[in-house]
């Protein structure tokens, strides 16, 4: 039986495709973006995350943890991945991130929420992390959704072998495709990988006639530079013509996810690489919208900060 690891399910999502949707967040990612909104997704398998503010020093975790030394410190090399510590924690200070699921598990959720899709023109979206890293599972899940008449969307960074797209293409109604930076050197610096495969995969998808909506995360001073937005628009015009583009306002809430201490004493401390960034103003986003509209693209902005 095929299984996959997911770390979250968002019910009644309205920004991940048309209508009311259920978004399934898969673990694992090929990129290491400095601004990653879901750092808990980077590891492929289940793991423990720490919320130090909830810890009451009760010792329940230490009593069951084989990785705990007599001095109270945990060593990653001693961990048996039993996750007994998270199960024993009474406050949620230790939380298991990620669970193994079957296609049947996810389809059960889909069937329960299908009435909402039908009344709103919605469906399901697979995201991450990078859901296409688990394309073998994803193919079967999307096929199952298609068989019961549910609209499907795949949210992807594009940094996977193209055969992953080929697996899911017959069962995908919409691709939400991230484009971050057109300058390859800057892309490598900010995401840890070249954009060559990402652009090549997108060009092939467009050539095949797939329904693709471009998404651009606006990172202050990095991806929201007008020259970068203009270059994205120009590349799209040269590779299939005008497109639907979503501009995603920067969301600073993810910064708090990096403040959690490492679970093991031999792990390096974690800190957000881009502290102090603030969401773009409504005026700044409108200027980027107009730039793309002048090129002929259809543009929509997703704004999270009410004050902008």
Is there a domain that residue 295 lies in? Answer: yes
Write the DSSP assignment of the chain as a string of letters: --EEEEEEEEEEESSSSSSSEEEEEE---S---TT-S-GGGSSSS-EEEE-GGG-----HHHHH-TTB-TTS-B-GGG--S--HHHHH-SSSSEEEE-EEEEHHHHHHHHHHHHHHHHHHT-EEEEESS-GGGGHHHHHHHHHHHHHTT-EEEEEE---S-HHHHHHHGGG-SEEEEE---S-HHHHHHHHSS-SHHHHHHHHHHHHTT--EEEEEE--TTTTT-HHHHHHHHHHHHHTTS--EEEEE---GGGGGGGGSPPSSTTSPP---SSTT--PPPHHHHHHHHHHHHHTT-EEEEE---TT-
Other CB atoms within a 10 A radius of the CB of residue 82 amount to 12
> How much is the pLDDT for 260?
67
Total domains in the chain come to 1
Provide the residue range defining the domain that includes 293.
3-43+101-253+276-302
Is there a domain that residue 79 lies in? Answer: no
Question: What are the φ/ψ torsions at residue 82 (nearest 5 degrees)?
Answer: -85, -20
Burial call 122-152: b when 16+ CB within 10 Å, e when fewer: bbbbbbbbbbbbbbebbbbbbebbeeeebbb
How many angstroms separate the CA atoms of 71 and 288, rounded? 55
Is there a domain that residue 49 lies in? Answer: no
> How much is the pLDDT for 80?
83
CB 265 within 8 A of CB 255: no
Is there a domain that residue 65 lies in? Answer: no
pTM of the model: 0.91
How many angstroms separate the CA atoms of 211 and 16, rounded? 14
> How much is the pLDDT for 198?
98
> How much is the pLDDT for 261?
66
> How much is the pLDDT for 23?
98
Is there a domain that residue 89 lies in? Answer: no
> How much is the pLDDT for 287?
97
* Interval 116-151: pLDDT, tens: 999 999 999 999 999 999 999 999 999 999 999 999
Is there a domain that residue 48 lies in? Answer: no
Local confidence pLDDT in tens for the 308 residues of the chain = 899 999 999 999 999 999 999 999 999 999 999 999 888 888 888 888 887 778 898 888 888 887 776 776 777 777 888 888 889 999 988 888 889 999 999 999 999 999 999 999 999 999 999 999 999 999 999 999 999 999 999 999 999 999 999 999 999 999 999 999 999 999 999 999 999 999 999 999 999 999 999 999 999 999 999 999 999 999 999 998 999 999 999 998 878 777 666 677 777 777 889 999 999 999 999 999 999 999 999 999 998 765 44
Is there a domain that residue 159 lies in? Answer: yes
CATH number for the domain including 165? 3.20.20.70
Is there a domain that residue 88 lies in? Answer: no
């Amino acid at each position: 039986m095929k299984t996959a690891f997911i770390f979250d399910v968002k019910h009644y999502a309205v920004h991940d495709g048309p209508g009311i949707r259920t978004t399934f967040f898969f673990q694992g990612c090929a990129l290491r973006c400095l601004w990653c909104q879901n750092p808990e997704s980077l590891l492929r398998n289940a793991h423990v995350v720490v919320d130090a503010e909830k810890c009451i020093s009760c010792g329940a975790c230490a009593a069951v943890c084989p990785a705990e030394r007599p001095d109270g410190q945990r060593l990653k090399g001693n961990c048996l991945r039993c996750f007994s510590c998270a199960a024993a924690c009474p406050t949620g200070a230790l939380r298991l991130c990620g669970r193994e699921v079957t296609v049947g598990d996810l389809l059960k959720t889909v069937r329960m929420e299908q009435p909402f899709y039908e009344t709103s023109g919605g469906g399901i979206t697979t995201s991450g992390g990078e859901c296409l890293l688990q394309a073998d599972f994803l193919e079967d899940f999307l096929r199952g959704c298609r068989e019961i008449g549910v609209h499907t969307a795949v949210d992807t960074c594009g940094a996977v072998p193209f055969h992953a797209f080929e697996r899911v293409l017959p069962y995908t109604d919409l691709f939400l495709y991230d484009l971050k930076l057109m300058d390859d050197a800057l892309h490598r610096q900010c995401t840890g990988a070249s954009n060559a495969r990402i652009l090549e995969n997108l060009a092939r998808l467009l050539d095949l006639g797939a329904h693709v909506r471009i998404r651009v995360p606006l990172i202050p001073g990095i991806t929201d530079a007008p020259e970068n937005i203009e270059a994205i628009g120009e590349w799209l015009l040269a590779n299939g013509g005008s497109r639907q583009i979503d501009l995603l306002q920067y969301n600073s809430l993810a910064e708090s996810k990096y403040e959690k201490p490492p679970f093991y004493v031999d792990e390096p401390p974690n800190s957000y690489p881009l502290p102090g960034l603030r969401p773009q103003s409504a005026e700044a986003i409108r200027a980027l919208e107009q730039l793309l509209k002048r090129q002929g693209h259809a543009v929509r902005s997703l704004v999270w900060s009410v004050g902008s």
